[in-house]
């Protein structure tokens, strides 16, 4: 029985027992009459080998220098963030003086949604169609001023037969099947409209074109305050400033002469305005109100 237990122990420890068989005097005692003492010695020696194996790993201290020949020469590239994972984003907060004002967490279900170009296309079509006035109008036969008598006899003149001079074939006549005042608006679900705004915000955040300011206040109403900050921005042509509450009067005066800077309240933020500007500048209050607006249940 002791011999069978010893064989199971040897199978468990494998190479450790085989490695120490020649050097350990205790392992040679298997041929003796005391099988239990041999089993105990085997266990002790196996545990000793395991402990020595754990301590054999070398550890570099701060004083040691890593061998330069073992370092790779290839440039390690950080993989880009995958868009559309609904992950919360952390973005730094500054102001017009480039002062650090901490960080802000952007909700992942608003600023990190999958990009859908078809949704953006449909929302832009809906916006442009809805804002079209539809006041175009042409006069029909009954609306054109003129006489109602028959211009000449039906037969005998050799000319074409006509019943009125107000027809579309005469100068100053009516327009047949012309445009009349109507609404060009098309129907779009509220969920799709809301999703389009989320996609537009996600695209600007993924491009690094979303800036968050702690406060949009300016010390003076001088335009040079905005111009100086605009000149420091890279790859920017037009800026859309989004304010959470009422627009500051100094900010309005400082940007009213700049065609490349426009201000809009958070309640009026829309997809088409975001696409017209390559950089989106929002205040903390505006971000909070946009997130609250996106999380508000839709009235059915």
pLDDT digits 0-9 by tens, 126-167: 999 999 999 999 999 999 999 989 999 999 999 999 999 999
* pLDDT on residue 134: 94
Looking at the whole model, is its pTM more than 0.75? no
pLDDT digits (tens, 9 = 90+) for 243-263: 998 898 999 999 999 999 999
* pLDDT on residue 137: 97
Please, what is the Cα angle at 247 between 259 and 294, to 5 degrees? 100
pLDDT digits (tens, 9 = 90+) for 73-119: 555 444 567 888 999 999 999 999 889 999 999 999 999 999 999 99
SS (H, E, C) the chain: CHHHHHHHHHHHHCHHHHHHCCCCCCHHHHHCCCHHHHHHHHHHHHHHHHHHHHCCCCCCCCCCCCCHHHCCCCCCCCCCCCCCCCCCEEEEEECCCCCCCCEEEECHHHHCCCCCHHHHHHHHHHHHHHHCCCCCCCCCCCCCCCCCCCCCCCCCCCCCCCCCCCCCCCCCCCCCCCCCCCCCCCCCCHHHHHHHHHHHHHHHHHCCCEEEECCCCCCCCCHHHHHHHHHHCCCCCCEEEEECCCCCHHHHHHHCCCCCEEEEEHHHCCHHHHHHCCEEEEEHHHHHHHHHHHHCCCCC
Closest to 17 measured CA to CA, from 34, 38, 32? 38
* pLDDT on residue 80: 66
* pLDDT on residue 84: 87
**Domains present along the chain, CATH in parentheses:** 82-131+186-295 (3.40.1370.10), 134-183 (no CATH)
Please, which pLDDT band fits residue 189 given cuts at 50, 70 and 90? very high
pLDDT digits (tens, 9 = 90+) for 35-87: 555 555 655 555 555 454 444 444 444 455 556 665 555 554 445 678 889 99
* pLDDT on residue 245: 87
Residues paired with 261 in a beta bridge: 239
Q: Is the pLDDT of residue 31 over 70?
A: no
Q: What is the mean pLDDT of residues 10-25?
A: 46
């Amino acid at each position: 029985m002791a011999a069978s237990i010893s064989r199971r122990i040897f199978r468990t420890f494998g190479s450790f027992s085989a490695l120490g068989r020649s050097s350990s005097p205790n392992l040679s005692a298997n041929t003796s009459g005391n099988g239990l003492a041999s089993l105990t010695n085997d266990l002790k020696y196996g545990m000793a080998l395991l402990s020595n194996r754990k301590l054999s790993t070398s550890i570099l201290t701060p004083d040691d220098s890593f061998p330069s020949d073992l370092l790779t020469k290839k440039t390690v590239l950080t993989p880009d963030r995958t868009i559309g994972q609904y992950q919360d984003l952390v973005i730094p907060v500054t102001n017009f003086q480039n002062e650090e004002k901490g960080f802000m967490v952007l909700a992942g279900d608003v600023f990190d949604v999958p990009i859908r170009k078809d949704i953006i296309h449909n929302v832009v079509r809906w916006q442009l169609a809805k804002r079209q006035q539809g006041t175009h109008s042409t006069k029909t036969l009954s609306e054109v001023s003129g006489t109602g008598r028959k211009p000449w006899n039906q037969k005998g003149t050799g000319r074409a037969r006509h019943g009125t001079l107000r027809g579309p074939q005469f100068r100053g006549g009516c327009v047949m099947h012309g445009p009349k005042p109507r609404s060009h608006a098309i129907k779009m679900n509220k969920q799709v409209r809301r999703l389009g705004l989320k996609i537009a915000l996600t695209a600007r955040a993924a491009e690094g074109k979303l800036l968050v300011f702690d406060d949009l206040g300016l010390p003076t109403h001088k335009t040079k305050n905005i111009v100086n900050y605009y000149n420091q921005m890279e790859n920017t042509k037009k800026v859309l400033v989004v304010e959470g509450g009422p627009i500051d009067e100094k900010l309005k005066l400082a940007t009213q002469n700049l065609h490349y800077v426009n201000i809009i309240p958070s309640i009026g933020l829309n997809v088409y305005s975001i696409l017209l500007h390559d950089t989106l500048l929002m205040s903390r209050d505006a971000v909070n109100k946009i997130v609250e607006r996106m999380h508000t249940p839709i009235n059915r």
